[in-house]
Structure 1
Amino acid sequence: MLYSNVGQAIADALKDTLGGWGMWSAIIATVSVIGLGFFLAARGIFKKEWEKILVRVVMVVGLPALALNGFLANATVKDIIEQLTVLLTGFAFYAIMMFVSKYFFFKYEKDLQDTFAMCIALASTTFFGTPIVTAIYGGAAAMPANIFNVPYRVFLYSLAFMIMSKKPMAATVDGKVSTKKLKSEMTEVEIAESRKIKKNALKNIFLNPILICTFIGLFIWVTQLIPGIDLLTVKGVEYKQIAGTSVFEKVDKIDKYSFLRIDILFPPAKTILSTLAGICTPLAWLAIGMTMAKGNLKEALKDGKLWYAASVKVIVAPLIILLMIVGVAGIGSATDWFTFSKVSLAVMVIMTAAPPANVVVAYAISYEKGANAASNLTTLSTLLSIITLPIWVIMVTAVGALPMFG
């Protein structure tokens, strides 16, 4: 009977997802706008330098607004425990992947092994993943996406930086031998430049506008549980049914909110944030298309190593986090300590299935670690991600119908 009920729940979830336009509209919109960006860049209508401008606008304006806006919601102890579970699961996943991913490429030379490993471990969760999951799952995806991006950014700008900047005596770069200097062999200018790069990495962690808005929003959201902080009052009305009748009467009500809720204190703030967050998705998709046009897709399609790495990126990595989440959700369900929502499951898996992070590619270029391979891997992975996206949506819909997910 239990298996029959579970099977029916999965079948109903898949029917609702596949039978409606919600998911398909989001996926078709994603593919269409990315394709438009590719076409306009390939035809020269969009100039190459525009890509950096679009990326900058998204990273400095759109995504920070989306991050802050996502936390302007009421909080309960249950909600906070769930998001804490997302955070800890994210840290565990990235900690594992940072060390395990290199073993998928143990036969490759050291530089290429490091680059492919970091490309597998660190997806473009912010720039590629966040706009897609919010397009598919709406505002409910914003909070888990923001939370999941915290450990991602910590590892991206710390351990990934250390791995990618580590320079051996000699290494192979894109099939060519390249002699690299140890720190003892570097000039004062080179040492100063190295320190500058490390300083910029730390700056990206602590002064990143997305992370700053995430922590501000998280603070506003969590502190709503502090007794006595609900000093803002909003008068409203509700309709209650008169006992024993079918008549509803209008009753005055007063809602209380934390004085930190800027959307309640100054209502236009919500509109401003929503407007700025709205530019995030279309600009990000156009920029992704332009990135694909810039890469050498023909060269990538001919490289067996890239096909292998891209397959690991869009299939194996999300499968690993899917299994981790099922295990964590199972523990929560069995102990009744916490719940793991199906939206959080979907967000984390789909974001992990995104192409490699652009920052990892930048590391590969800066430190001469298979720069061409990293760039082509991103192009091929982006193409495969678009193809596998509907498959992962279907997969997480089926898994999310299991009783362990709230």
Structure 2
Amino acid sequence: MNLYSVGSEIGDALKETLGGWGMWSAIIATISVIGLGFFLTLKNILNKDWDKVFIKVVMVVGLPSLALSGFLTNITVKDLIDQLAVLLIGFAFYALMMLISKYFFLKYDKDLQDTFAMCIALASTTFFGTPIVTAIYGDAKIPANIFNVPYRVFLYSLAFMIMSKKPMAATNNGNVVAKIKKSEMTVEDLAQSKKVKKQALKNIFVNPILIATFVGLIIWVTQLIPGIDVLAVVETKTKSGVIGVDANNNVYEGSISYVDTVYYSPLRIDKLFPPSATILNALAAICTPLAWLAIGMTMAKGNIKEAMKDKKLWYAASIKVLVAPAIILILICGVAGIGSLIVDEGTTIIGKTAMSVMVIMTAAPPANVVVAYAISYEKGAKEASNLTSLSTLLSVVTLPVWVVIVTAVGALPIFG
């Protein structure tokens, strides 16, 4: 494929994306609902503490349902290769960011280095990113779920260890009164410290979203096992095309419905018990609006005016929403390019939707868990909170830009 044809493909992709309402509707809806949450909270119409309830519902009910329902679809070997590439790129990206992110902030003290580094390395891919990419791309559920696996592993393991290096603070009725050195801790203090670390590591596996992801992944992948399709389901299908020819050889085209028996894996709960699909879809539907409202409410609680006056926050936020997604985009293009040289001509190892999902999710604001770490271990808690508010504002602004970029890159031959 020559440069002219590649340029033509990119131009057609941009024209299709920018000229239709699909992308713009999703982006306008995102900005509007986040803005609504911000306005209603600012005017005290919504209680400021409701964001915690919304977040809890999304994390415990909405996102697990979205994760599981996303895997209730047919699979091909090409689909499996595509998602394995997403998983490997995810682990490689987070490992790389854990190593290099601190070098962006060497001029700051050690606490801010750790906090800012983890903030730009770990975006809010689950709470902020997943609802947005699933709204923009209809087939984004599976790559979003797969990409969140390495994210959660690093979030609750290495990020926790980095942020907890400083001794825990002693508190009195919830107020910090002193910092305790490990050598000065009582038996109770040491037990509490061990309990916190154990709970954080436990969250990697005992987590509703991750459990739903692994269950869905098993259901999805096992469909490739030969002979597993034993569940007979009678379905009504529609066929379009030529439906008849009259005596004068006039061809009639249209659509006809017919009944056919289709065989599925017995693990496909949506086919084994159809109401389960309705339940999962209903619960998954609450995820996006509640998440967007909660994001707006959280922004209203933060001090955006103060954050906008802080140069170091502008610097960190710019790294978060511009540099971090650029790094993963380069990494993806490198893997896709190498893969295209290894596999047969015309075959890709990663699709454009998977690429777009990873880049846009990485451009999300810092993960709320990282902010919680900063607060718990007194490592730039105020800066972390303000960085999240400023990054959220910038993420909303840069979202259309990244959609355009990934649309253009996705038209390259290495992405099919």
- TM interval, shorter chain, is over 0.9
Deviations 1:120-152 (A, max 9, x none): 0000000000000001112x0000000000000
- The residue number in structure 1 matching 2:25 is 25
Check the 8 A contact 1:102/1:117 in 2, yes or no.
yes
Task: Kindly report which structure 2 residues correspond to 1:3-402, keeping only aligned pairs within 5 A, or say none.
Answer: 3-138=3-138, 140-167=139-166, 180-236=179-235, 239=239, 246=251, 253-336=260-343, 338-402=348-412
Deviations 1:231-274 (A, max 9, x none): 11123456486899847887764311000000001111111111
Structure 2 vs 1, CA of residues 169 and 144 (structure 1 numbering), >3 Å: closer, same or farther?
closer
How far apart in 1 are the matches of 2:259 and 2:155? 51
How far apart in 2 are the matches of 1:220 and 1:307? 44
Deviations 1:374-404 (A, max 9, x none): 0000000000000000000000000000011
Quote the sequence identity (%): 72
Deviations 1:9-57 (A, max 9, x none): 0000000111111111110110000000001111111112211100000
Deviations 1:294-317 (A, max 9, x none): 111111000000000000000000
The SS at the match of 1:233 is strand
How far apart in 1 are the matches of 2:287 and 2:238? 35
The SS at the match of 1:254 is strand
Structure 2 vs 1, CA of residues 310 and 233 (structure 1 numbering), >3 Å: closer, same or farther?
same
* Farther off after superposition, 233-242 or 354-363: 233-242
Deviations 1:313-371 (A, max 9, x none): 00000000000000111112121265211100110000000000000000000000000
Check the 8 A contact 2:168/2:193 in 1, yes or no.
no
Deviations 1:77-97 (A, max 9, x none): 111111011000000000000
Check the 8 A contact 1:229/1:258 in 2, yes or no.
yes
**AA of the residue aligned to 2:406:** V
- Matched pairs, number: 398
Check the 8 A contact 1:169/1:179 in 2, yes or no.
no
Check the 8 A contact 1:134/1:142 in 2, yes or no.
yes
How far apart in 2 are the matches of 1:20 and 1:247? 31
How far apart in 1 are the matches of 2:85 and 2:287? 27
How far apart in 1 are the matches of 2:272 and 2:379? 50
Structure 2 vs 1, CA of residues 233 and 15 (structure 1 numbering), >3 Å: closer, same or farther?
same
How far apart in 1 are the matches of 2:357 and 2:243? 42
Deviations 1:98-134 (A, max 9, x none): 1110000011100000000000000000000000000
How far apart in 2 are the matches of 1:97 and 1:196? 28
Give TM-score scaled by structure 2 length.
0.92
Check the 8 A contact 2:124/2:366 in 1, yes or no.
yes
**AA of the residue aligned to 1:321:** I
Structure 2 vs 1, CA of residues 241 and 359 (structure 1 numbering), >3 Å: closer, same or farther?
same
Check the 8 A contact 2:116/2:316 in 1, yes or no.
yes
- The residue number in structure 1 matching 2:173 is none
- Unaligned residue ranges in structure 2 (runs of 5+): 170-176
Please state how far the C-alpha of 1:185 moved relative to its aligned partner. Answer: 2.4
Q: CA RMSD in A?
A: 2.0
* Farther off after superposition, 199-208 or 281-290: 199-208
Please state how far the C-alpha of 1:226 moved relative to its aligned partner. Answer: 1.0
How far apart in 1 are the matches of 2:287 and 2:383? 28
How far apart in 1 are the matches of 2:136 and 2:277? 21
Please state how far the C-alpha of 1:203 moved relative to its aligned partner. Answer: 2.4
* Farther off after superposition, 43-52 or 351-360: 43-52
**AA of the residue aligned to 1:274:** N
